[in-house]
Amino acid sequence: MKELKHFILVGAPASGKGTQGRFLADTFGLHSLSTGSLLRREVESCTELGRKALSYMDRAMLVPDEIVNDMVRGWLSEMDHGAWLLDGYPRTVAQAEALDHFLNQRGTSVDVVVWMDVSRELIEQRIMRRRECSTCGYVVQTPEEECSKCGGKMVSRKDDNMEAFARRWKDFEAMTLPVARYYEARGLVVKMTVSEEREPADVSRDLARKLEEYRQ
Ligand code: AMP
Beta-bridge mates of residue 9:
87, 114
Distance (angstroms) between ligand 1 centre and the Cα of 206 equals 27
Choose, from 131, 149, 167, 168, the residue flagged as catalytic: 168
**Is the CB of residue 60 below 6 angstroms from any atom belonging to ligand 1?**
yes
Q: Phi/psi at 171 (nearest 5 deg)?
A: -60, -40
Dump pLDDT digits (tens) for 91-116: 999 999 999 999 999 999 999 999 99
| One-letter identity of residue 62 | L
Residue 122 assigned to a binding site: no
| One-letter identity of residue 10 | V
Contact 172, 124 (CB under 8 A): no
**Is the CB of residue 62 below 6 angstroms from any atom belonging to ligand 1?**
yes
The residue ranges of every structural domain in the chain are: 6-118+172-215
Ligand 1, from 10, 20, 41, 63: best to mutate by most atoms within 8 Å of Cβ? 63
Task: Give the pLDDT mean for 57-63.
Answer: 88
Choose, from 157, 167, 181, 210, the residue flagged as catalytic: 157
Q: In this structure, which topology does domain 6-118+172-215 adopt according to CATH?
A: Rossmann fold (3.40.50)
Dump pLDDT digits (tens) for 182-210: 999 999 999 999 878 888 899 999 999 99
What is the sign, positive or negative, of the torsion defined by CA atoms of 181, 183, 189, 192?
negative
| Global pTM value | 0.85
